[in-house]
Amino acid sequence: MAGAPMERADVVELGMRTVADFVSRAPGDPADTYALRLTSGTSGSGPVMVVRQFDPVQNARYYADASDIIAAFFGSRSTRLTQAMNMRKSGALRRHMLILDGGDVTPHIDTLLQQFAPDALLGLPSVMVKISSRMPADVRRGVKVIVAGGEHVGAAAQKYFLQQYPHARIDTFYGSSEVGVVAGACPYDPTTIYHPLPNTFIEIDDPDKDGVGDILVTKTIYRDQKVRRYRIGDMGKIIDGPCRCGESVSFEVVGRTGYDYIKLAGAILRREEFDRVALSLGEYISDYRAEAYIAGTVEESKGGIILSVFRKSSVLNTSELEQVRVLFAERLFISTTLTLAQAVLKGYFVPLEVVAVSQPFPKQSKDVTLRLRPS
C-alpha cells in the first residue's frame, strides 16, 4: 500500500475533523451508531478525540456465552461507556455489566464481587490481574470467558489467568481507542495470533531480519474517514501462510514500541524477558522498573540499562544489589543466543546498573515496567 504512514499527530487531526463533521451535520440516527472517544495511554503524546462508529457485530462474540459481565476499567471513561453501549446493543435479552473503577477497590470489594459473581471478565489484563487477588476463589471458578484487550497479553499473564480461572477460555482483541478494534484473536492461539477484521488492512513497516516492525493499520473509522497506514504504536510481524483456523492473513503483536519491545544497540529488550528474570530472582525482587538508554558516543554507541528494584520485606543492601546486578545480567537474554552479561563483555552494552528503592512503585492504570529513555 502506497503513501507515507500516518503518525499520531495525523490521527489527532483526523479525529478533530470527525468531531467537527459530527457537530456540523449530525447523522440521522446518531445515538445508535456513534460514540465520542478519547484516548489515553502510554504513547506519550496528547489525547485523540474522535467520533467512531460502533461495531456491535465484532463485539457480540465476546458476550455470546456470558450473562453477568465485569468490565475491568480501561482508563478512559469514554472507553468504559463504549463497553456499556456495546453490551446494550448485543443481542441477548439479559446481561448485567459492572464497570469497575480504580476507586472501587476498597475493603468491601471482595463481598461485592461475590455478590455480582461474574461469568465473564472484559478489559485490560493488567487490571484484571490486580482485581483477581480480591475475587473469592469460588467466584473465579465460575468465570467462563476472559476477554482481554488494550494491552498485550503475555505468556505470564495467560498462565496466571489459566491458574486463577480454571474454567475460563481466554479471548483477546487488538486495537486502540482512536481506531477501534482492528483484529480478533485466533481461536487456536488467542494471545499471540490475530486476524484483521473485515475491511481492515495490516502491514509491517521496515521489518527487521525477524520480520518485526511497526504495525500499520488502514480502516474506516467514521463515515468516509479512514486511517491509512496508521502507525498504531505497536510492533509485530506478519505470519506467512494461511492459518489453521482458515483465515488467510495472520499477524503477531510483539508489544508496545519503546516499552514492551525495544530495539537497542542491536539487541531486543522484551518486557516478558525482564519479567521472567525478575521472577527468577524473587528473593530479591518484588517489583522492578527498567529503563534502557543509549550510552557511549555517537560514533560508538552502546546500550545501557538501569534496573530499579523494590523488595517488600526490606531494602536490598549493597551485597544483595551486587548479586542482583550479576545474576540479572547473566540470565537476561537480549537476543536468541546472547545474554546481557555476554553483550557487556563484547562491548555492545555498558554494565547493568541496579538501584534499590525503598517504596513501592506508584500504581498506574497501565504499569510500564520497561521503557526506553528518550534520546
Q: Which residues bind other proteins (CB under 8 A)?
A: 16, 19-20, 22-23, 26, 29-32, 34-36, 38, 40, 47, 49, 73, 76-78, 80-81, 84-85, 87-88, 92-101, 103-104, 106, 108-109, 112, 115-116
Give the nearest distance from C-beta 29 to other proteins in angstroms.
Answer: 8
Q: Could you give the CA distance from residue 28 to residue 41 in angstroms, rounded to a whole number?
A: 33
Q: How far is the CB of 278 from other proteins (least distance, A)?
A: 32
118 in Cβ contact with 68 (< 8 Å): yes
C-beta of residue 117 within 8 angstroms of C-beta of residue 109? no
Minimum CB separation of residue 60 from other proteins in Å reads 13
The residue (of 109 and 156) whose beta carbon lies closer to other proteins is 109
Q: For residues 61 and 77, which CB has a smaller minimum distance to other proteins in the complex?
A: 77
The radius of gyration of the chain from alpha carbons, rounded to an integer in Å, stands at: 22
Distances (CA, A) of 172 to 145, 277, 312: 10, 26, 32
Give min distance, CB of 231 to other proteins, in A.
23
> Cα(85)–Cα(29) distance, rounded to whole angstroms?
15
CB of 115 to other proteins, least distance (A): 5
Of 97 and 235, CB closest to other proteins: 97
* Minimum distance from residue 214 beta carbon to other proteins (Å): 27
**Which CB atom, from 78 or from 218, has the smaller least distance to other proteins?**
78
Nearer to other proteins, 76 or 342 (CB): 76
Which CB atom, from 22 or from 201, has the smaller least distance to other proteins? 22
Q: Give the residue with the Cβ less far from other proteins, 118 or 304.
A: 118
For residue 225, with 0-12 CB atoms within 10 Å meaning exposed, 13-18 middle and 19 or more buried, which class applies?
A: middle
C-alpha cell at 289: 522498573
User: For residues 36-67, b (16+ Cβ closer than 10 Å) or e, as one string?
Assistant: ebbbbbbbeeebbbbbbbbebebbeebbeebe
Nearer to other proteins, 18 or 172 (CB): 18
Cβ closer to other proteins: 76 or 301? 76
Compute the residue count for the chain.
375
Q: Give Cβ neighbours of residue 368 (< 8 Å, ≥ 6 apart).
A: 42, 259, 289
In angstroms, what is the minimal distance from the CB of 22 to other proteins? 8
Q: What angle do CA 278, 264, 290 make, to 5 degrees?
A: 30
Minimum separation from the CB atom of position 144 to other proteins (A): 18
Q: In angstroms, give the least distance from the CB of 43 to other proteins.
A: 15
